[in-house]
Amino acid sequence: MKRQLPLLLTFLAGTIPIVAFFVPERHVGLVSTTLDSWLIIVAGFALLLGVVNVIQMNANKIHRRSSGWPYAIVLLLSLAIMGFFGFAGAFDMFGGIATRPDGSSTPFDWLYKFAFLPLQGTMFALLAFFMASASYRAFRARNVEATILLIAALLVMFGRIPFGEMVSKWFPLATEWIMGKPNMAAQRGIMIGAALGAASMALRIILGIERSYLGIGKGE
């Protein structure tokens, strides 16, 4: 029973949306959208589980003075401060979580603008640096395939910037051609293969053939 029940639930939760895709009847649709709402609720509770885990782990770290424990203090403090103002804002203390009617920042909004936002921007901007070092290493004309890759990369990079067009109007056109034709063809090939792989995996899961993710043994 301990094994059968999760598999039965998986089967039902997997089949209902497929049936609803083909059957427009109101009640079927209702069951399917209810499942969607349940997912959101379950995810909400799981997030709570995550937060509890973060607090436990980091509290332990500080308690045991294990390596990097000062970072754990920073993390817990940040969690407490942002969490407090978020909660308080939700109950309309400190003027909510967005800006006040006069345009001034509430504490949550202030933290968002002057801590969260720049930190996020910084992480995303790191991509430019990492891309530079990765492409320096990767784009070498080692063999024919690598040379084709290199030429395509240079064309696209050059064609996407104004200098490309200043040199010749063919650079932007070549860029668009590479992106729209060979790039797209390859992407579609991978997408179709991956979609079939995902569908086959989904079928295995719905039918209870693939169970490894449930932690209840593989195969039959």
* Residues between 1 and 40 with contacts to other proteins, criterion CB under 8 A: 18, 21-26, 29, 33, 36-37, 39-40
Distance CA 169, CA 159 (A): 9
Sole binder of other proteins in the list 2, 5, 65, 217 (CB under 8 A): 217
C-beta of 49 vs 144, nearer to other proteins: 49
Distance CA 153, CA 132 (A): 12
| Burial call 127-151: b when 16+ CB within 10 Å, e when fewer | eeeeeeeeeeeebeeeeeeeeebbe
State the nearest-atom distance from the C-beta of 53 to other proteins, in Å: 4
Return the residues of window 152-171 that contact other proteins according to CB under 8 A.
153-154, 157-158, 160-163, 165-166
- Which ranges constitute the DSSP H helices of 3-25? 4-22
Distance CA 72, CA 59 (A): 7
State the nearest-atom distance from the C-beta of 39 to other proteins, in Å: 6
Return the residues of window 77-106 that contact other proteins according to CB under 8 A.
98-99
By the rule CB under 8 A, 127 interacts with other proteins: yes
